[in-house]
């Protein structure tokens, strides 16, 4: 669904250049539900804006659903935004109108007319579990419900890819769990590919793959040992008391880029022997690559 190779984005202003993405590699399979994490300023929103066609990359390669977003004409980019992707932001105010009802808000972007439009809006509200609240004004809905209206709107034109930038950023844990459950349901039932940007580790633990961005590059990747569905099934079988430690559910991988560079987790570099060093010994040992502190006389 998504292929990013050496993706670069540079923001230029009069006297300043910010390299927001510096050679980012990422692949996302059709039907994946994955999360992107990283500190503030690491380039997460920049990446999502590129994926959504809201802004153009400066260099590198980016294709989504087989479409090349670097060489695409402006006209094709507009169509891409309308037909291929759906967007959900943290701040609902950006896509919603407070004095209209949930249903009216959902009807707005639908390109159909008359009864077909109403029917489609109802279908979307059902998909996000809001059919009973459809006549309420937006201002009468809770934060989580408003976010579900925003998700219904993002789905209005049947996108293949749903992009969500900090979708639970302003919600409490329980409500953000419900939003994530909805993403999972849409992923499973519609086969929708979903990319969620978050800095919430709690949310990130609940998807099958998490990619971490550091300084505009992918630095590490966590893969679920078992699918979330398997884990839920097991929990139901064994009861809640056996709930495995959440940290155990993912394996962490460091990403090796095309030049063979690899980012070592910062916590490892704090260890005795590695701290404040700028090199390590790299050795091949029985099919493993081993990193050791340099010998004393080498430093
Ligand atoms: P994140 O979403 O991970 O917090 P962003 O993608 O928003 O990070 O920002 C990455 C870097 O790019 C930051 O240094 C930010 O200041 C800069 N940046 C983002 N958008 C713009 C812009 N429109 N103009 C200039 N710099 C920007
Ligand atoms: Mg951001």
Domain boundaries, the chain: 27-56+74-268, 269-299
Name the closest ligand to CA 11: 1
Question: Which residues does 209 contact at the CB level (< 8 Å), separation at least 6?
Answer: 32, 34, 35, 221, 222, 223, 224
Our mutation pick for probing the ligand 1 site, out of 17, 46, 50, counting the most ligand atoms within 8 A of Cβ, is: 46
**Token pair recorded at residue 169:** 């950023």
Between the CA of 229 and the centroid of ligand 1 the distance, in Å, is 35
| CATH code 3.40.50.300 for 27-56+74-268 | yes
**How high is the pLDDT of residue 17?**
92
pLDDT (0 to 100) of residue 123 = 94
pLDDT of the residue at 240: 54
Distance 88 CA to ligand 2 centre (A): 12
**What is the per-residue pLDDT for 96?**
87
* CA nearest to 167, candidates 186, 187, 185, 146: 146
Kindly tell me the sign of the dihedral angle through the C-alpha atoms of 145, 184, 220, 272: positive
Task: State the ligand closest to the CA atom of 41.
Answer: 1
Pocket of ligand 1 (CB under 6 A): 11, 18, 20, 38, 40-46
Q: What is the mean pLDDT of each run of 10 residues along the chain (299 residues)?
A: 96 91 94 93 94 94 96 94 89 79 92 87 94 95 91 92 90 86 92 92 82 89 74 68 56 79 81 85 89 74
Q: What is the pLDDT of residue 228?
A: 67
- Measured in Å, residue 30 CA sits from the centre of ligand 2 at 24
Span from the CA of 37 to the centroid of ligand 1 (angstroms):
15
Predicted local confidence at residue 241, as pLDDT:
55
Please state, in angstroms and rounded to a whole number, the distance separating the CA atoms of residues 14 and 239. Answer: 60
* Predicted pLDDT of residue 254: 81
User: Which atom of ligand 1 lies nearest, measured to the CA of 16?
Assistant: 25
Structure tokens at 181: 């459950």
């Amino acid at each position: 669904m998504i292929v990013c190779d050496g993706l670069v984005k540079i923001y230029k202003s009069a006297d300043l250049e910010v390299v927001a993405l510096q050679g980012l590699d990422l692949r996302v399979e059709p039907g994946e539900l994955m999360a992107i994490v990283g500190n503030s300023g690491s380039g997460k929103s920049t990446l999502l804006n590129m994926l959504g066609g809201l802004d153009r990359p400066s260099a590198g390669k980016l294709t989504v659903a087989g479409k090349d977003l670097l060489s695409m004409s402006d006209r094709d980019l507009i169509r891409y935004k309308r037909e291929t992707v759906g967007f959900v932001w943290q701040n609902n105010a950006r896509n919603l109108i407070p004095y209209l009802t949930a249903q009216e808000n959902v009807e707005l972007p639908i390109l159909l007319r008359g009864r077909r439009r109403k029917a489609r809006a109802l279908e979307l509200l059902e998909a996000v579990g809001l059919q009973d609240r459809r006549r309420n004004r937006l201002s009468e809905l809770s934060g989580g419900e408003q976010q579900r209206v925003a998700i219904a709107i993002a789905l209005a034109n049947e996108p293949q890819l749903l992009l969500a930038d900090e979708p639970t950023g302003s919600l409490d844990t329980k409500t953000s769990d419900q939003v994530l459950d909805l993403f999972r349901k849409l992923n499973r039932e519609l086969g929708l590919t979903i990319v969620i940007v978050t800095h919430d580790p709690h949310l990130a633990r609940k998807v099958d793959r998490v990619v971490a961005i550091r300084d505009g590059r992918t630095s590490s990747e966590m893969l679920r040992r078992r699918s979330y569905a398997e884990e839920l099934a097991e929990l139901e079988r064994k009861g809640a008391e056996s709930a495995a430690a959440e940290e155990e559910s993912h394996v962490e991988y460091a990403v090796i880029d095309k030049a063979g560079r690899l980012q070592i987790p910062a916590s490892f570099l704090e260890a005795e022997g590695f701290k404040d060093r700028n090199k390590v010994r790299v050795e091949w040992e029985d099919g493993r690559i081993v990193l050791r502190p340099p010998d004393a006389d080498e430093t």
